[in-house]
Amino acid sequence: MGSIRERRGLLFMDFRYRGVRCREYTKLSDKPANRKRLQAILERVEAEILLGTFDYAAYFANSDRVAQFRDHDERRVQFQSDTPTFSDFSELWFSENEIGWKHSYRITLRSSLDKHVLPAFGAQPVSHITRADILAFRANLAKIPRNDGSTGLSPARINTILVPLRLALSEAADRFEFESPYKNIKSLKVPKTKVDPFTLDEVLRILTHVRDDFRPYLTTRFYTAMRTGECHGLKWKYVDFDRREIMVRESLVAGEMTDTKTDSSTRDIPMSQPVFDALKEQHKRTGDREWVFCNGEGKQLQINNVSNRVWKPLLRLLDLPYRRLYQTRHTAATLWLAAGENVLWVSEMMGHADPHVTLQKYAKYAPDLTRRDGSAFEALLAQKTGNQRQDDQQGEDS
């Protein structure tokens, strides 16, 4: 990330462009107002570099670097006939492969290409994109300002953005017989998903104070562990009151109905009594509609609307720390385990392919079940030491 620095009382900008460290000096003295002014210019420069629209001469017309980078661009143009540009090839690659992608995956790849990858690499021939270009691009993604005032996209988001770049370059390398510059570039390490469930007392408070029209919705989310897309995409034809089951068969993703996330996500969830009662109540409201949970027009719920208009105000009212609605899923898992339900059954209800994933993620929230709190060892010691004291006492008495 670039910086504003001082030399002999005058300020200069220090940043990197195309792998080159650039220092552009000014005649501005080192004062807070001047630093603020230059910092704003530097942020625009780095944003344009990231988007691939930066024109060195437009900012530093008298700099010696202008000619250097102009020569670089001219040389690059000379090579454009060797292989297609990344923009042209990525469109071909996308059109050839999208038939095999889920709707949600297609939307994610398209967004990453249009918003980030194409502005940075679109004009470059695929065979002339270098490892250094990719690493610099990835580093810049970690500097993008965020809406909450922080800086830098998350490692998970950066890895997602890089997926179409990696896949398209790999395909281009095979077709045009060059080594992919992405070779040996590993994905960033992603922190484990934060599990921050609600306690049963908190769940009961929430369900007591939530709006009547959203009580069945939150009851279902807290006591079934359904994902947001599964819940918002739930249709009445998948609710079987006779068998007291919810059949998870589809999911609403990016406004379109699609298959469940994985094969193991297709499952039948038994209704507990609170869920059964909640859905019976919901049936009185929306039983004549296709969707179980919908707005007044009969359309599917939007997570942002639910979060901003119902969920966040409710947590503020109850003075509870903010947690995403998705924590209702984690809450269901921890309540089941704490109640003593078999981990294999919990894993199946969660839609996990491997029970070890369930245990690894939620074990610490169910100490009585998993015995990972040291209580089993304490009990063993108490038993042994108690028996030893009893033997010693008997020896003294004899």
Pairwise CA distance, residues 356 & 344, whole Å: 9
Helix (H, G, I), strand (E, B) or coil at 151: strand
Confidence class for position 162, pLDDT limits 50, 70, 90: very high
| Predicted pLDDT at 393 | 60
- Provide the angle, in degrees to the nearest 10, between the axes of the packed helices 155-176 and 131-141: 160
Pairwise CA distance, residues 224 & 55, whole Å: 54
221 & 243 share domain: yes
Q: Tokens standing for 186?
A: 């590993």
Looking at per-residue pLDDT, the higher value among 343 and 70 belongs to 343
Going by the DSSP 8-state scheme, the letter that residue 182 receives in this structure is T
351 & 236 share domain: yes
Structural domains in the chain (count): 4
- Element (DSSP H or E) covering residue 5: strand 3-7
256 & 297 share domain: yes
pLDDT score of 77 more than 50: no
Going by the DSSP 8-state scheme, the letter that residue 193 receives in this structure is P
Helix (H, G, I), strand (E, B) or coil at 26: strand
Is 181 a member of any domain?
no
123 & 233 share domain: no
Pairwise CA distance, residues 151 & 144, whole Å: 6
Q: Tokens standing for 32?
A: 């807070």
Last residue of a domain, one of 49, 78, 107: 78
Identity of the amino acid at 188:
L
The CATH number of residue 128's host domain is 1.10.150.130
Helix (H, G, I), strand (E, B) or coil at 195: coil
| Predicted pLDDT at 2 | 83
262 & 319 share domain: yes
Looking at per-residue pLDDT, the higher value among 267 and 18 belongs to 267
Q: Tokens standing for 17?
A: 């462009």
Average pLDDT over residues 148-175: 89
207 & 269 share domain: yes
Residues 275 and 241: beta-carbon distance below 8 Å: no
Is 19 a member of any domain?
yes
| pLDDT tens profile 248-278 | 998 888 777 887 877 888 999 999 999 999 9
What are the residues whose beta carbons fall under 8 Å from the beta carbon of 173, sequence distance 6 or more?
179, 180
206 & 312 share domain: yes
Residues 383 and 352: beta-carbon distance below 8 Å: no
Is 186 a member of any domain?
no
Work out the number of other CB atoms within 10 angstroms of the CB of residue 190. Answer: 12
Looking at per-residue pLDDT, the higher value among 72 and 183 belongs to 183
Looking at per-residue pLDDT, the higher value among 289 and 255 belongs to 289
How far are the Cα atoms of 198, 231, 282, 307, 329 from residue 205, in angstroms, in the given order?
10, 22, 20, 18, 17
319 & 232 share domain: yes
Is 109 a member of any domain?
yes
| Predicted pLDDT at 86 | 92
Average pLDDT over residues 19-46: 89
Which range, 80-84, 371-375, 377-381, is most confident?
80-84
* Full domain range(s) for residue 56: 3-78
| Predicted pLDDT at 149 | 65
Confidence class for position 74, pLDDT limits 50, 70, 90: low
| pLDDT tens profile 296-326 | 888 999 999 999 999 999 999 999 999 999 9
pLDDT score of 9 more than 80: yes
Pairwise CA distance, residues 384 & 389, whole Å: 9
Pairwise CA distance, residues 377 & 368, whole Å: 13
| Predicted pLDDT at 357 | 87
67 & 172 share domain: no
| Predicted pLDDT at 392 | 57
Looking at per-residue pLDDT, the higher value among 328 and 372 belongs to 328
| pLDDT tens profile 111-159 | 999 999 999 999 889 998 999 999 999 999 988 876 666 677 889 999 9
Q: Please tell me the least confidently modeled range out of 189-203, 211-225, 310-324.
A: 189-203
| Predicted pLDDT at 372 | 46
In terms of phi and psi (left: phi > 0; alpha: psi -120 to 50; beta: otherwise), the region of 184 is left
| Predicted pLDDT at 389 | 57
Q: What are phi and psi of 85, to 5 degrees?
A: -70, 160
| Predicted pLDDT at 274 | 93
Is 185 a member of any domain?
no
Residues 45 and 59: beta-carbon distance below 8 Å: yes
pLDDT score of 375 more than 60: no
Confidence class for position 164, pLDDT limits 50, 70, 90: very high
110 & 243 share domain: no
The CATH number of residue 346's host domain is 1.10.443.10
Average pLDDT over residues 269-295: 94
Confidence class for position 194, pLDDT limits 50, 70, 90: confident
Confidence class for position 394, pLDDT limits 50, 70, 90: low
Is 39 a member of any domain?
yes
Q: What are phi and psi of 113, to 5 degrees?
A: -65, -55
| Predicted pLDDT at 260 | 81
Q: Please tell me the least confidently modeled range out of 61-70, 230-239, 322-331, 358-367.
A: 358-367
Is 337 a member of any domain?
yes
252 & 345 share domain: yes
Q: Please tell me the least confidently modeled range out of 61-75, 166-180, 187-201.
A: 61-75
Last residue of a domain, one of 21, 53, 78: 78
Q: What is the DSSP string of 236-265?
A: GGGEETTTTEEEE-EEEETTEEEE-SSGGG
Task: Please indicate, yes or no, whether the overall pTM of this predicted structure exceeds 0.75.
Answer: no
94 & 67 share domain: no
Is 210 a member of any domain?
yes
